[in-house]
Structure 1
Amino acid sequence: MMSPALTLSGVHYDRLGKHLFPGDGKEAAAILVCARTPGPRLRLLVKDLILVPHGECRTRRPDEIDWPGAYLEKAIDIAEPLGSAIVLIHSHPGGLFAFSAADDASDAVVMSCLFEACGDIHASAVMTPDGAIRARLYDRSLKVTPAQLVNVVGHDLLYFWESEARNPHRACRPMAFTSGMTAELNRLTATMIGVSGTGSITAEQAARLGFGRNQYVEFDKVEAKNLNRILNATLDDAKTGRLKAEMFAAAVATYRGPDVAFPIPREIGTRDAILAASQSDVLFCCVDTLEARQFADLISSAFLIPLFDVGVTIPTRKTRDGGVAIADVCGRIDYVQPGRSTLQDRGIYSPETLRAEYLAKADPDAHRAEVEAGYIKGFAEEAPSVITLNMRAAAACMNEFVVRAYPFRLDPNENYARTMFSLAACDEDFFAESTFTAAPNPVLARGDQEPLLGLPILGRRRKEAA
């Protein structure tokens, strides 16, 4: 097992905490049915949550619980068809952040039964009143491997590290903008989808903030016309048509050293890029197409990865003399957490707009559509001088990640699912998560189930045939 981890959405984490700590000081139990990420990194992704009713437990005391096996049978029925992992979790109201001798004895019996029924990996976990979770994984030989990380993707981003289990302040987050934040980021993987205008600036911030692994999904090549807005790009890169992903990874290596920056010169809609992104702890989407945003949305949902999406636009207006003038200079940052509203739910794209984009792309004569897709709406500009706008938007995007993982806002983070700014009006608007309605999400916590993301074109057999 490679650095195993357990990941919960904020929706599941909130429900779990309320159930495990009802206020009576007694232990409570639940079962998590989990998908997993494709290899090499093993992350168990909580897909289904089964709460064991307090009143049906045979015994409930401050340091003991005995619950009926019918709920375990229900979990097996859900897990067996896909070989999902089952995680047994209970509370320790007294605050013990470890597995007791009674927990060890119970696992020895129950895990053997689970493996007879289904799966090749199962786990047990405990939760303490401060919200911290500790988990351990079992294989068929009943060998135990601690989960190195339990993380929660909610309004706040929570990380509970096995190495910090003995720290009485384990549930306290490091302070933003400190060496403690840098040390933790060094243990995380960030994937940048797009390293052009806003993407290169976002990627530069991520590398210098200290993410331990930085992945760059970008298929395009450096051209002279975009040297005015892509950080680290040079004249030589443009002359040779160097891949943007490889250019940026090489630049980062000059100040971070080897084995930190990794180019993925593919379109995000390809199987290789999706598999690489599935290994991430956070996604930054910095693209200019709706199709790419759709794939980022699906990857976030399927693998329970927080998604930060950034976009900029410069709408224009007609002047009285028939010319063109800038009407506004705008930016948008969306934070998407799996289990709540997606980019599609928020109207960023729809089946209709995806179809229109595809038709425009397929028609080489669709010049008007190409103009509309650029930075300056309604005005053809090959090399727009927009680095100042991109800097503003990219900084807001990265700060949104920082404030989620290392909270410093005066108001709850749930009030800031979307930020929109207007440089023309000197205005900034915020939209709470409750502003948006989340539709049923069939891809949520799908994990490595084939075909990837539920899309037949991404199936393994199709890949092998190619």
Structure 2
Amino acid sequence: MISTNSLSMTDAQYQRMYQHLFPGDGLEAAAVLVCSRVPQPRLRLLVKDVVLVPYDECTVRERDQIVWPGGAIEEAIDLAEEDGLSLVLVHSHPGGLFAFSAQDDRSDRAVIPGIFQSHGSMHGSGIVTPDGAMLARVYRRDMSSEVLDVVSVAGDDIRWWWRDRRFMQRPLAFTSETREELSRLVACVVGVSGTGSLVAEQLARLGFGRVQLIDFDHVEARNLNRIINATRSDAANARMKVDVFADAIAGHRGDHVAVPLASSINDRSAVLLASQADVMFCCVDTVEARYICDLIAATFLMPLFDVGVAIPTRRLGETVAIADVCGRVDYVQPGGCSLQDRGVYSPETLRAEYLSRVSPASHQEEMRAGYLKGVIEQTPSVITLNMRAASACVMEFIARVYPFRHTPNSHHARTAFSLADAEDESFAEASFPCTVNRNLARGDREPLLGLPALRYKAAEVDRAA
């Protein structure tokens, strides 16, 4: 069962909300979440802001009851009104009840219709228990309600709280329970070539309920030594990489697990598909594609795993020698330091790549920017390096969801390996600057990702219809 509706928030938002809801006095407390949404068809609320209800303004605060004035709701409506955002009224259950009580139902019926009179077409409520678990539901204008499948928080660790109370005790990594939980989730793999095909293979076999595959390119003969599941027939027929891989997944998982899209990630259709995922894996070789993945992750509060490999070379007299064989995995949590903050790309490298692409010598430049830096190589034999990096990427995901390290995950925002020096190195989240991300929880607001090129064009849709 793949989750179809959810609520997501950053770890910083969650910690701020939780600390307020449980101040240590054993009494109920309240907050209001201001939420954007992902594009349809999925219903996924994205927390954009948190409004805390002051304790001293509550007329009643007891262990099993709270009465609070409308000032916090009015403040939240002011924040939500311009972009048509949704409000979720949250309170604590100090007694530990992981369910909506009859009193909660009566309170919602009394308060939420008034919010609808002010603005919006969807609002909700939620409860949080002392162990940190959260349950949420949404109401529509007719006051019909729906409990959300899951609430997710992606920080140093990635947590999901499911409405059916499964996995309240986190599963042990590498067990059948992990496969059962992953069957409820959607992964998006951007770039299904040398490294991406290996990442997608692992995700499908780990048991993800759906694996989205986004890549604009077709199979060529020169790809066959490093893209798994690709054949000479695929190359001869110039089949799209995503279609080849979707067929391979169907062979061992059945139909409807793989969702292929033959498109560049900077196309509107690709962004819309990616917005429906729970986690993203970026396996691309251009800075522009990484930039778009960075924007998608922030816009839709999605954990992002970015992987890259390189084989730097050096001049040795008249010959060329291998200087290193290395790889990198970055985990980007929503609200944390972005790939740009970490120097994976910059405005200057984006501009340089664009100029290289439109110049007459662009093909030559692309070849020089390939696996072996400084060497033009059409068919690099790098599948072993790709396997090492792809495994590290997926293992980083597992470590975040089912922690097994002896050190905190916060120490591993970036992991890098050098095979030449036989070294592995980790960098903490605090190692990088963290700038304010204006796209954080932007959601479905047009233009998508804040990029004019991705704006919805009704005329084009009408012509296509």
Q: TM-score, normalised by structure 1?
A: 0.97
Tell me the CA shift for residue 257 of structure 1. Answer: 0.5
CA distance in 1, matches of 2:102, 2:251: 50
- Aligned pair count reads 460
Match of 1:338 in 2: 334
Match of 1:242 in 2: 239
CA distance in 1, matches of 2:459, 2:414: 36
Match of 2:107 in 1: 106
2:77 partner SS: helix
The question of 1:437 aligning with 2:458 is answered no
**Residue pairs, 1:406-445, within 5 angstroms:** 406-445=402-441
Match of 1:92 in 2: 93
The question of 1:67 aligning with 2:77 is answered no
Tell me the CA shift for residue 58 of structure 1. Answer: 2.0
Among the aligned pairs, what percent are the same residue?
57
Q: Structure 1, residues 173-206: CA drift from partner, whole Å, max 9, x if none?
A: 1111111000111110011000101000000000
CA distance in 1, matches of 2:266, 2:350: 14
Asked if structure 2 preserves the Cα contact closer than 8 Å seen for 1:316 and 1:326, the reply is yes
The question of 1:208 aligning with 2:209 is answered no
The question of 1:224 aligning with 2:237 is answered no
1:352 to 348, 354, 365: 348
Tell me the CA shift for residue 448 of structure 1. Answer: 0.4
Match of 1:19 in 2: 20
2:294 partner SS: helix
Q: Structure 1, residues 227-262: CA drift from partner, whole Å, max 9, x if none?
A: 000010000000110000000001110111111111
Tell me the CA shift for residue 464 of structure 1. Answer: 2.7
| Comparing 416-425 and 149-158, the one that deviates more | 149-158
Match of 1:384 in 2: 380
1:181 counterpart letter in structure 2: T
Cα gap change, 1:143/1:24 in structure 2, threshold over 3 Å: closer, same or farther? same
2:366 partner SS: helix
Cα gap change, 1:366/1:40 in structure 2, threshold over 3 Å: closer, same or farther? closer
Asked if structure 2 preserves the Cα contact closer than 8 Å seen for 1:186 and 1:210, the reply is yes
The question of 1:253 aligning with 2:254 is answered no
CA distance in 2, matches of 1:423, 1:237: 33
> Structure 1 segments of 4 or more deviating over 3 A?
none
Match of 2:447 in 1: 451
**Residue pairs, 1:230-379, within 5 angstroms:** 230-319=227-316, 321-366=317-362, 369-379=365-375
1:143 counterpart letter in structure 2: S
Cα gap change, 1:381/1:309 in structure 2, threshold over 3 Å: closer, same or farther? same
Root mean square deviation, CA, Å: 1.3
Tell me the CA shift for residue 413 of structure 1. Answer: 0.8
CA distance in 2, matches of 1:463, 1:89: 41
Tell me the CA shift for residue 371 of structure 1. Answer: 3.5
Match of 2:44 in 1: 43
Asked if structure 2 preserves the Cα contact closer than 8 Å seen for 1:11 and 1:340, the reply is no
Asked if structure 2 preserves the Cα contact closer than 8 Å seen for 1:45 and 1:445, the reply is yes
Tell me the CA shift for residue 366 of structure 1. Answer: 3.9
Unaligned segments of structure 2, at least 5 residues: none
CA distance in 2, matches of 1:69, 1:251: 55
1:433 counterpart letter in structure 2: E
Unaligned segments of structure 1, at least 5 residues: none
Match of 2:154 in 1: 153
1:58 counterpart letter in structure 2: T
Match of 2:183 in 1: 186
The question of 1:123 aligning with 2:121 is answered no
Asked if structure 2 preserves the Cα contact closer than 8 Å seen for 1:130 and 1:171, the reply is no
Asked if structure 2 preserves the Cα contact closer than 8 Å seen for 1:131 and 1:171, the reply is no
CA distance in 1, matches of 2:123, 2:188: 28
CA distance in 2, matches of 1:394, 1:3: 28
CA distance in 2, matches of 1:441, 1:8: 15
CA distance in 1, matches of 2:57, 2:344: 45
| Comparing 271-280 and 105-114, the one that deviates more | 105-114
Tell me the CA shift for residue 364 of structure 1. Answer: 2.9
